[in-house]
Amino acid sequence: MPMSFDISPSQASSCSHCVVRHSGICGALSEQQLEYLVSHTRTGLYSPGAQVFGDETAITSYASVVSGVIKLLKVLEDGRQQVVGLKFAPDFIGRVFATDNRLYAEAASPVQLCHIPRPVMERLLQQSRPLERRLMAEILRELDEAREWMVTLGQKSAAERVASFLHLIALHVRPDAAGCLGAVTYELPLTRGDIADFLGLSIETVSRQLTELRRCDIISIVNKRQVTIPDMVSLRRRCG
Amino acid sequence: MPMSFDISPSQASSCSHCVVRHSGICGALSEQQLEYLVSHTRTGLYSPGAQVFGDETAITSYASVVSGVIKLLKVLEDGRQQVVGLKFAPDFIGRVFATDNRLYAEAASPVQLCHIPRPVMERLLQQSRPLERRLMAEILRELDEAREWMVTLGQKSAAERVASFLHLIALHVRPDAAGCLGAVTYELPLTRGDIADFLGLSIETVSRQLTELRRCDIISIVNKRQVTIPDMVSLRRRCG
DNA sequence: CGAGACATTGAATTGCCTCAAGATTAGTGG
DNA sequence: CCACTAATCTTGAGGCAATTCAATGTCTCG
């Protein structure tokens, strides 16, 4: 089992101007459906490490990330764990058309979620084909990302993995950064331990590779978390 | 680029009793829709190593596996490649709702496919919500499998990876083998090289681990390919 | 200020890869 | 039918990258 701080989410009452309105799946809904959804939504706040969904538990609700980062992880009996996905706002979380979860969802940073009760989501999915399409698009993107990451896990060296991770986060923060010439700066949403679990490396190796990248002026880091990438092209060259 | 033997598929005319009728996605269609589909289907035969779909090429058709095994793989500039998925009958192949491929699809064993032209598939998807649901279910399963495999690639030792691979194939051949007491025998659909690319290991390491499993009587192998697993439980214990 | 979590750095170990040489199999043509 | 070649697989020896173990450094918060 992953470390579970068991911080129960602060439950707020339904928020009419919840960010879910602007989120991924909600552009697919009519005014009326959106009204229905929002009136059945609950906001949850989670501290880093708090468990949002459990493995092998019944699915009672889905969620949409309002802010922060969620890590999806799988755990082996002996405690080894692998982060198999990261969820940023406005991603949707949950296995639709299934009855139970197959992984843990944990807050990586402070997270705000909009919880959607399962029956509500199922009713909307039944009604709205655009919603189903939107969801399908998101799942296909998840599949692409998972396969991309399989290449990193299976083929790349530690140095390349760490570079690929920094690159991945940069693209999430600044989606147009791919061809961007200017510097990109962001706050790392994961601890070294989380990064290690994501990359299939040890904490020490992650740390060493970050140091090496800093030594080569590919990145600079202040306060352990604030990352600046002066040149995305140089970083990309290190991704393998 | 992966080795491309460029064996062009033998094109047969549309086959009225093509196995596509019994395949995964086709149970979701009406008689009329099935008729429409089958009349626009072409059979293709591929030899091991032959490319079915290319990376970064336009999507002109989808396919359904009739027999044999397809490997989906991603390739880095320097030639390293990672198998990111295996497709067995009656799996569906292709990125729906997208315009271009993001990976290579290659025959691992001799393969028979049913090709479905893109416009045909899109029209059916537009018409049939059950088909869309069926496809969604298959994509969700692919996502589950990809994440399961990420754990293997990121966390497991070479010995555990090889055991996990043999276990995976066993479950495909005999889906009920999970709790099965009897022996399971099958023909390996992949070469040592393919297995290595799937597991993120070298060919030599795969070979050594197979030898080791044989030495411990977890498996027996005849003619390099014919694998027998006398006890699935023992094998599972080695999967980590 | 002190405690605890998180991160960095070093030294020693090990698991897997690389390189290299044989063994086995399948396919080919004399 | 059998030698010959090419491809695939196995096995061994040595090297290296990443892990493990251990110690130190840094930040946060009561």
What's the DSSP call for residue A74? Answer: E
Top-confidence residue, B18 or B183: B183
Q: Tell me, what's the pLDDT at B23?
A: 59
Q: d(Cα A60, Cα A36) in Å, to the nearest integer?
A: 18
Reply yes or no on whether the pLDDT at B159 is more than 80: yes
Whether A91 and A65 have beta carbons less than 8 Å apart is answered as yes
* pLDDT per position as a tens digit, B96-113: 999 999 999 999 999 999
CA A74 to chain centre: 14
Cβ-based contacts with strand C at under 7 Å: A 49, 191-193, 203-204, 206-208, 210-211, 221, 224-225; B 157-159, 200-202, 204-205, 223-224
Residue type at A115 in one-letter notation: H
Q: Tell me, what's the pLDDT at B146?
A: 98
- Residue B138 tokens read as 């298959």
Reply yes or no on whether the pLDDT at B17 is more than 70: no
Top-confidence residue, A6 or A68: A68
A222 CB closer than 7 A to any strand D atom: no
Chain B residues touching A62 at Cβ < 8 A: none
Distance from first CA to last CA of chain B, Å, rounded?
A: 33
pTM of the entire predicted model? 0.91
Mutate to test the interface with B, among A139, A147, A162, A197 (most CBs of B within 10 A): A147
Q: Tell me, what's the pLDDT at B28?
A: 80
Q: Tell me, what's the pLDDT at B1?
A: 37
Q: Mean of the pLDDT values across residues B13-25? A: 52
Reply yes or no on whether the pLDDT at B5 is more than 50: no
Reply yes or no on whether the pLDDT at B13 is more than 50: no
HSE-CB at A142 with a 13 A cutoff on CA atoms is 27
> DSSP string spanning A202-223?
-HHHHHHHHHHHHHTTS-EEET
Q: d(Cα A42, Cα A187) in Å, to the nearest integer?
A: 27
- Residue A51 tokens read as 């468990």
* pLDDT per position as a tens digit, A84-126: 999 999 999 999 999 999 999 999 999 999 999 999 999 999 9
Mutate to test the interface with B, among A91, A135, A143, A202 (most CBs of B within 10 A): A143
Q: What stretch of H or E contains B60? A: none
Q: Mean of the pLDDT values across residues A206-223? A: 96
Reply yes or no on whether the pLDDT at A22 is more than 80: no
Strand order in A220-222's β-sheet? A184-187, A226-229, A220-222
Q: Tell me, what's the pLDDT at B10?
A: 42
Q: How far is the CA of B206 from the C1' of C20 (A)?
A: 18
Q: d(Cα A141, Cα A180) in Å, to the nearest integer?
A: 22
Across chain B, mean pLDDT equals 89
Q: Tell me, what's the pLDDT at B181?
A: 78
Band of the pLDDT at B24, cuts 50, 70, 90? confident
3-state secondary structure of B180: coil
Percentage of the residues of chain A whose pLDDT score is greater than 70: 90
Nearest to B234 by CA among B194, B177, B195: B177
Q: d(Cα A104, Cα B44) in Å, to the nearest integer?
A: 42
Closest partner residue to A154 among B82, B139, B144, by Cβ? Answer: B82
Reply yes or no on whether the pLDDT at B220 is more than 90: yes
Q: d(Cα B133, Cα B129) in Å, to the nearest integer?
A: 6
What's the DSSP call for residue B58? Answer: B
3-state secondary structure of A22: helix
Q: d(Cα B174, Cα B167) in Å, to the nearest integer?
A: 10
Cβ count within 10 A of residue A26: 22
Q: d(Cα A59, Cα B84) in Å, to the nearest integer?
A: 28
Of A117-126, A195-204, B18-27, the range with the lowest mean pLDDT is B18-27
> A95 CB contacts (<8 Å, ≥6 apart)?
A59, A101, A102, B140
Q: Tell me, what's the pLDDT at A44?
A: 94
Q: Tell me, what's the pLDDT at A26?
A: 79
Reply yes or no on whether the pLDDT at A73 is more than 90: yes
Strand order in B51-53's β-sheet? B51-53, B104-107, B69-75, B81-88
Across chain A, mean pLDDT equals 89
Of A39-48, A55-64, B5-14, the range with the lowest mean pLDDT is B5-14
Q: Mean of the pLDDT values across residues A135-149? A: 96
Q: d(Cα A108, Cα A209) in Å, to the nearest integer?
A: 21
Reply yes or no on whether the pLDDT at B170 is more than 70: yes
Q: Tell me, what's the pLDDT at A30?
A: 82
- Residue B72 tokens read as 């989906």
Q: Mean of the pLDDT values across residues B30-56? A: 91
Percentage of the residues of chain A whose pLDDT score is greater than 90: 80
Q: How far is CA A49 from CA A9, A105, A192, B128, B139, in A?
A: 12, 10, 13, 42, 29
Band of the pLDDT at B14, cuts 50, 70, 90? very low
Residue type at A113 in one-letter notation: L
Nearest to B146 by CA among A50, A178, A58, A85: A85
Cβ count within 10 A of residue A129: 12
Q: Mean of the pLDDT values across residues B18-34? A: 71
Contact A84 B133 (CB under 8 A): no
Closest partner residue to A140 among B139, B144, B199, by Cβ? Answer: B139
* pLDDT per position as a tens digit, A51-63: 999 999 999 999 9
Reply yes or no on whether the pLDDT at B67 is more than 60: yes
Phi and psi at B5, nearest 5°, equal -80, -10
